[in-house]
């Protein structure tokens, strides 16, 4: 993390860079205020890849994706959907934490199109390494990145199976949405939607493997 006294103009950005590591990445300015880049995790050749938005505060500090409450919710949803955790590779559309300071807390800021686009470089590397049969897009930012379509909306695509670049794409809510929903009924509904999407992803993998 560079000194906070640097101005935005001072921050190195090399949009066409092809860096060898997340730590060397300067394709957008998000490297500047983050503790570290957070790569995806999970078995190589996992048939399912779950793509979230970006690392949160805890993930940024730990250097691991989906730790903390969102990760716990996802683990519970996978168990309820009957999907083996070993069949899943987890990652984010954007690998550095974007935040702004409110009081003493680092508050999440949604990545912009340019940042999502810049960071697709890394998602493509993960696609090449893992070659998932099904991609579960967790939330609107992930869906835009996965579909390579910045006009894609989440709600209109919930419950559908889409396809992009030869992969099946199952859109659903981000686990943070289910955690933040204002009342018990909406939390329950959002959680159920995530479980249904994961169950569907598991079914698609089994159908694909039977061919």
Contact pick of 96, 106, 133, 144 for ligand SF4 (by CB under 6 A): 96
- Residue 158 C-beta: closest distance to ligand SF4, Å: 27
119 binds ligand SF4 (CB under 6 A): yes
- Residue 14: how many other CB atoms lie within 10 Å: 12
Task: Give the closest residue to 118 by CA, choosing from 26, 211, 184, 210.
Answer: 26
Window contacting ligand SF4 (CB under 6 A); options: 117-125, 141-149, 177-185, 190-198? 117-125
User: CB-hemisphere CA count at 13 Å for 83?
Assistant: 30
- Strands 162-164 and 167-172 turn out to be antiparallel
123 binds ligand SF4 (CB under 6 A): no
Residues 6+ apart with CB under 8 A from 122: 22, 25, 39, 95
- Residue 207: how many other CB atoms lie within 10 Å: 12
Check if the beta carbon of residue 48 is closer than 8 Å to that of residue 205.
yes
Residues 6+ apart with CB under 8 A from 3: none
Contact pick of 73, 118, 123, 143 for ligand SF4 (by CB under 6 A): 118
The number of residues that bind ligand SF4 (CB under 6 A) is 14
- Residue 208 C-beta: closest distance to ligand SF4, Å: 30
62 binds ligand SF4 (CB under 6 A): no
Window contacting ligand SF4 (CB under 6 A); options: 80-88, 91-99, 156-164, 197-205? 91-99
95 binds ligand SF4 (CB under 6 A): yes
Interface positions with ligand SF4 (CB under 6 A): 22, 25, 27-28, 30-31, 37, 94-96, 115, 118-119, 122
């Amino acid at each position: 993390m560079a000194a906070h006294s640097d101005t935005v103009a001072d921050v190195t950005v090399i949009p066409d860079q092809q860096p060898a590591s997340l730590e060397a990445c300067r394709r957008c300015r998000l490297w500047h205020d983050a503790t570290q880049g957070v790569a995806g995790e999970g078995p190589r050749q996992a048939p399912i890849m779950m793509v979230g938005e970006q690392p949160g505060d805890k993930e940024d500090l730990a250097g691991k994706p989906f730790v903390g409450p969102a990760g716990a919710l996802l683990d519970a949803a996978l168990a309820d959907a009957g999907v083996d955790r070993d069949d899943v590779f987890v990652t984010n559309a954007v690998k550095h934490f974007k935040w702004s300071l409110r009081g003493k807390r680092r508050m999440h800021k949604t990545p912009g199109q340019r940042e999502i686009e810049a960071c697709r470089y890394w998602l493509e590397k993960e696609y090449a390494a893992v070659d998932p049969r099904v991609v579960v897009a967790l939330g609107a930012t992930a869906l835009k990145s996965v579909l390579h379509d910045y006009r894609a909306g989440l709600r209109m695509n919930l419950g559908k199976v889409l396809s992009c670049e030869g992969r099946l794409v199952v859109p659903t809510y981000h686990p943070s949405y289910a955690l933040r929903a204002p009342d018990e009924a909406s939390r329950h509904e959002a959680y159920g939607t995530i479980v249904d999407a994961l169950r569907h992803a598991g079914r698609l993998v089994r159908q694909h493997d039977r061919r």
